[in-house]
């Protein structure tokens, strides 16, 4: 009986809930396979679908967003044995990533209470603040840990009601791109999570300088990129956050949310 030839996997970008090849058709050989090399056009496409999806995602109830993130954790758990590579460190990393998703799923319906509230004012007015999502967030994921680092940066973005355009690990992108398959079989709406792969030198300017991107989470830990990211962000007044790996969840959430304050007259 002859042995069959295994079907080689073709890695693709994950944009708008679909798996697409890079518009340029270029690839880079990484980890023994050809990985899509994203282009400026891919960045524009990713931001476009993220913007289109943001309104609907933000309008969902906080409870529903928590359910979706929990389902994403379930889907990642079901793939964790495969993605971990059956190593002790790999299992620990995937387990931590699943736990983080569950953790942020629990935050979604608590943000209004923790971050919002009634403000004391000296006058006949009622003033109160409520948290709102920032909008479309560009996420620059760290090179390592590839999966856990990506989830650390993305989970608070999605929990807060934002949509994300992510540049995944440049050094080890394969498992990060596999997260598109995990999202595809969960309840994450198309366009809410978008995964780009490529060279940072080609993707940084079109993404961080895009006028329809509202905030940037720079989790690369690369000091050489900081000045360029800040310069691009300043051109359109984007908020930039650089959370440490051990940053607390609330600070990560606050970095991708805005507070809306309303005033109402009271009394006569």
Q: For residue 144, how many C-alpha atoms fall within 13 Å in the half-sphere facing its CB?
A: 4
pLDDT in the model for residue 267: 65
pLDDT in the model for residue 173: 95
DSSP 37-73: ---HHHHHHHHHHHHHHHHHHHHS-HHHHHHHHHHHH
Q: Which of 15, 8, 13 is nearest to 27 (CA)?
A: 13
pLDDT in the model for residue 260: 84
pLDDT in the model for residue 266: 79
The pTM of this model reads 0.92
Fold (topology level) of 13-265? Aldehyde Dehydrogenase; Chain A, domain 1 (3.40.605)
pLDDT in the model for residue 62: 95
Cis check for the bond before 145: say yes or no (omega within 30 of 0): yes
Separation CA 128–CA 131 (nearest Å) = 10
8 A C-beta contact, residue 69 and residue 101: yes
Cα 90 to chain centroid, rounded: 21
Going from the first residue of the chain to its last (268 residues), give the mean pLDDT of each consecutive group of 10, the final group possibly shorter.
81 96 93 93 98 97 97 96 85 96 96 85 80 96 96 98 97 95 95 97 97 97 94 95 93 93 76
Contacts of 36 by beta carbon, 8 Å cutoff, 6+ apart = 11, 12, 13, 21, 22, 26, 27, 197, 198
Separation CA 146–CA 85 (nearest Å) = 13
Cα 159 to chain centroid, rounded: 10
Burial of residue 183, with CB atoms counted within 10 A of its CB: 0-12 exposed, 13-18 middle, 19 or more buried: buried
pLDDT in the model for residue 268: 53
Contacts of 31 by beta carbon, 8 Å cutoff, 6+ apart = 172, 174
């Amino acid at each position: 009986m002859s042995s069959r030839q295994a079907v080689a996997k073709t890695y693709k970008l994950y944009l708008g809930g679909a798996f697409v090849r890079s518009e340029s058709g270029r690839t880079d050989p990484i980890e023994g396979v050809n990985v899509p090399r994203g282009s400026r056009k891919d960045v524009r496409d990713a931001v476009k679908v993220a913007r289109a999806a943001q309104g609907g995602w933000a309008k969902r109830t906080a409870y529903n967003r928590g359910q979706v993130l929990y389902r994403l954790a379930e889907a990642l758990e079901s793939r964790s044995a495969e993605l971990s590579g059956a190593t002790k460190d790999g299992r620990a990393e995937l387990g931590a990533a699943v736990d983080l998703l569950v953790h942020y799923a629990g935050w979604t319906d608590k943000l209004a209470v923790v971050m919002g509230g009634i403000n004391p004012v000296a006058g006949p007015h009622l003033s109160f603040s409520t948290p709102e999502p920032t909008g479309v967030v560009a996420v620059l994921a760290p090179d390592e840990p590839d999966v856990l680092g990506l989830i650390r940066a993305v989970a608070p973005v999605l929990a807060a009601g934002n949509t994300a355009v992510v540049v995944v690990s440049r050094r080890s992108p394969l498992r990060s791109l596999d997260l598109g398959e995990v999202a595809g079989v969960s309840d994450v709406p198309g366009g809410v999570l978008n995964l780009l792969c490529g060279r940072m030198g080609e993707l940084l300017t079109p993404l961080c300088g895009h006028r329809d991107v509202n905030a940037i989470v720079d989790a690369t830990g690369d000091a050489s990129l900081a000045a360029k990211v800040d310069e691009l962000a300043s051109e359109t007044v984007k908020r930039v956050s650089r959370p440490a790996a051990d940053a607390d969840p609330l600070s990560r959430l606050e970095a991708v949310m805005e507070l809306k304050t309303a005033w109402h007259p009271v009394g006569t």
